[in-house]
Amino acid sequence: MLLNQEQRLEAYRRMLRIRRFEEEGTRLYKAGKIPGAFHASIGQEATIVGACMALRDDDSMTGTHRSHGHPIGKGAELSGLMAELMGKQTGICKGRGGSMHLADNTVGIIGESAIVGGGIPLATGCALSAKVRRTDQVSLCFFGDGAVNQGTFHESLNMAALWKLPVVYLCENNGYAITTSLAKSHGQPSIAKRAEAYGMPGVMVDGQDVRAVYEAAHAAVARGRRGDGPTLIEAKTYRFDEHQVGLFIPGEPYRSPEEVGQHRQSRDPILLFRSALLGAGVSKAELSSIESEVQRGVDKAVQFATSSPFPDPATLCDYMYSESISYPDPYTKRCWEAR
């Protein structure tokens, strides 16, 4: 299935939203306005958006420590995300998650796992849940090339294939697990090929081409909704920035400045898609209008986040436990609250 005209413009909008959000975030991080570690998704926008565009709003999703792009790709509001990065009370996770955990449940994200491979079983469980509840929901599971060497990848793909679960395993293969290349960590460098061993289709796509990712994801989602089981998609992409902003890595560089420059110049997913849209007859004015709309949205989010308060220290223990169930015995008290 191809993206229609309206979807193509929406895909461009979301990719650009990720790019501008990350650029602004990087600037704020360097200025000391965002604490912790900042992992930008710049360069990987087409993979994220192409996959998310194949989902419905009620489909579940899990992501990774490189978490900012995923909610934006799925259509989340920016303000709560930016406020979360700054550790504000108005953040989507109330300042309890931060950069590696930008999970927005209103768009179906159940968690962004900073434990590499940690989201793979959870996404598998979302699919199991959909099957038990007899809905036609699918779940989309983002993970990186490093995660496929975790045991959870092997265990989860086996179970999903065994039970024909509606899950799309989407590997954002950006070539490096922090500094470790595929050549130095994978006996079989094709990640898509691993699918065959589990009894599911494995597809390799150009992760810099949003249309190609969408088409592969759409086919995988349709397969899941039909009850035919999971699919593994390997999207070849590239991380333009360092693993995390400002990270100093001593010794020999693990990738050359030429390699990075070449990707930035000729493999930028947003520039590639922009040219394709112009070539397909979309007017420059239309794209400019989207570009300024996106910039306004990011500016608004920064303004919202900056003016939001930090969490009240009195709320430290909030969100730890749910309300106690109501027991028939009147003597029950919530004694964990007292301590």
Partner 1 sequence: MSAAMQGTHLASAQMTYLEAIVQAQIEELERDERVVMMGEDLAVYGDGKVVARFGPDRIWSTPISETSFTGAGIGAAITGLRPIVALSIASFMYLAADPIINQAAKLRYMTGGQVRVPIVFRCSLYYGRSIAAQHSDRPYPMFINIPGLKIVCPASAADIKGLLKSAVRDDDPVMIFEDARLWPVKGPVPTDREWLVPIGKAEVKQAGTDVTIVAIAGAMRPSLEAAEVLKAEGISVEIIDPRTLKPLDTETIVNSVAKTGRLVIVENAHRLCSLSSEIAAIVGEEAFGLLKKPIQRLTAPDVHVPFSPALEKIMFPDRDKIVAAVKQIL
Residue 197 found at the interface with partner 1 (CB under 8 A)? no
Identity of the residue, 88 or 218, whose beta carbon is nearer to partner 1 in the bound complex:
88
- Rounded to a whole number of angstroms, the minimum distance from the CB of residue 173 to partner 1 is 21
Among 1, 27, 36, 162, binds partner 1 (CB under 8 A): 162
For the chain, the residue count is 339
Identity of the residue, 118 or 207, whose beta carbon is nearer to partner 1 in the bound complex:
118
- Residue position matching structure tokens 């199991």: 128
Cα 315 to chain centroid distance, Å, stands at 28
Among 152, 173, 208, 231, binds partner 1 (CB under 8 A): 152
Among 18, 51, 82, 93, binds partner 1 (CB under 8 A): 93
* DSSP per-residue letters across 156-220: HHHHHHHTT--EEEEEEE-SEETTEEGGGT-SS--STTHHHHHTS-EEEEETT-HHHHHHHHHHH
Beta carbons of 207 and 235 less than 8 angstroms apart: yes
Residues 295-324, interacting with partner 1 (CB under 8 A): 318-324
Question: What tokens appear for 148 in the block?
Answer: 């496929």
Identity of the residue, 122 or 282, whose beta carbon is nearer to partner 1 in the bound complex:
122
Beta carbons of 84 and 120 less than 8 angstroms apart: no
* DSSP per-residue letters across 36-102: S-----TT-HHHHHHHHTTS-TTSEEEEESS-SHHHHHHT--HHHHHHHHTT-TTSTTTTSS-GGG-
Pick the closest to residue 47 from 31, 29, 24, 63 (CA basis): 63
Rounded (5°) CA angle 135-321-152: 55
Which residues have a Cβ under 8 Å from the Cβ of 34 and sit 6 or more positions away? 25, 28, 85, 86, 87, 99
Residue 224 found at the interface with partner 1 (CB under 8 A)? no
Among 14, 101, 164, 194, binds partner 1 (CB under 8 A): 101
Please identify, among the stretches 94-102, 222-230, 257-265, 284-292, the one whose residues bind partner 1 according to the rule CB under 8 A: 94-102
Among 2, 4, 6, 133, binds partner 1 (CB under 8 A): 133
Residue 96 found at the interface with partner 1 (CB under 8 A)? yes
Distance CA 137, CA 224 (A): 8
Identity of the residue, 27 or 56, whose beta carbon is nearer to partner 1 in the bound complex:
56
Identity of the residue, 183 or 333, whose beta carbon is nearer to partner 1 in the bound complex:
333
Identity of the residue, 97 or 175, whose beta carbon is nearer to partner 1 in the bound complex:
97
Distance CA 159, CA 166 (A): 11
Identity of the residue, 57 or 334, whose beta carbon is nearer to partner 1 in the bound complex:
334
Identity of the residue, 246 or 321, whose beta carbon is nearer to partner 1 in the bound complex:
321
Residues 36-65, interacting with partner 1 (CB under 8 A): 60, 62
Residues 1-40, interacting with partner 1 (CB under 8 A): none
Residue 128 found at the interface with partner 1 (CB under 8 A)? yes
For residue 150, what is the DSSP state?
A: S
Contact footprint for partner 1 (CB under 8 A):
60, 62, 91-97, 101, 103-106, 110-111, 113, 115, 118, 120-133, 139, 151-152, 155-156, 158-159, 162-163, 318-325, 327-329, 331-336, 339
